[in-house]
Amino acid sequence: MMFNAQAIVRKSINNATTQFDKLGHVANDLANYNTYGYKSVRFEQMLREDGYVEGVQRTDCMQGSVRITENPYDVAIEGQGYIPVTSEDGQVQYTRDGSMIKGKGGYLYTRDGWLVGGGIKLPANCYKFTINKNGDVYTYDEAGSLPRRVGTIPLVSFANPEMLDQGINNKMVATEESGEPKIVKNHNNFRQNAIECSNVTIQGSVGEMLRLNASMIASMRLLKVADDMYNKGINIRE
């Protein structure tokens, strides 16, 4: 009986810990419901042969809805792919949040100060600019002038994008499981004056939180059963 009680305790604690970790991811998803380009986390569970529950974290790559903003600095990605961005200290990460700004030196940056691509500079006398579906950026000096190509917003893909890891401020980091980034050529995935919303659903996330809460309660009840078994075993031995 002592062995059975200990086994129940270990498995119950393991299950409760796994569910608690998953609950944290669901709560983070809800907190990022209004974050542009955010991808929710899918936390898959596998029951091992020894009865323990093991959790595997994956990125849900489902497309988020596209919202028209009429802001020329916004670009939505329709389909697969990520925009590579670089921090001041040289870190390269990947994002689907295409809300950009004109930063220092006239270059395109993310709103939190990461350089877009390898550096795309808008001239000081830029009257307006356009971003083609393939990422080519054209500027106009004045109304009616001929466009001038100043760069291309790169798009990269991964062999297993669901295995990307969470980076800084809604960015993603390549992992061994995701594979190395590869430049996507001959695509039409960009849409200017629009932005991709998160793919988080309130109904789905709340339902998952309720299910996880019920599972954790069940684990606590099992711990209570194990405690009773332990106490009975002590009484019998006495």
pLDDT of residue 2: 44
pLDDT of residue 1: 44
Higher pLDDT, 216 or 171: 171
Instruction: Assign 41 a pLDDT band (cuts: 50, 70, 90).
Output: confident
The helix-helix angle for 202-237 and 2-31 (nearest 10°) equals 160
pLDDT of residue 16: 61
Cα 83 from Cα 171, distance rounded (Å): 10
One-letter identity of residue 87: S
Average pLDDT over residues 145-174: 95
Instruction: Assign 24 a pLDDT band (cuts: 50, 70, 90).
Output: confident
Average pLDDT over residues 57-68: 93
**pTM: predicted TM-score of the whole model, two decimal places:** 0.78
pLDDT of residue 86: 98
Looking at the predicted structure, is the pLDDT value of residue 49 above 80?
no
What is the residue extent of each domain of the chain?
A: 2-61+200-237, 66-196
129 vs 82, 85, 121, 137, 149, CA distance in Å?
A: 22, 20, 11, 7, 9
Residue with tokens 């849900």: 60
Closest CA to 184 of 86, 111, 117, 91: 117
Tens digits of per-residue pLDDT, 66-104? Answer: 999 999 999 999 999 999 999 999 999 999 999 999 999
Contact 178, 161 (CB under 8 A): yes
Looking at the predicted structure, is the pLDDT value of residue 231 above 80?
no
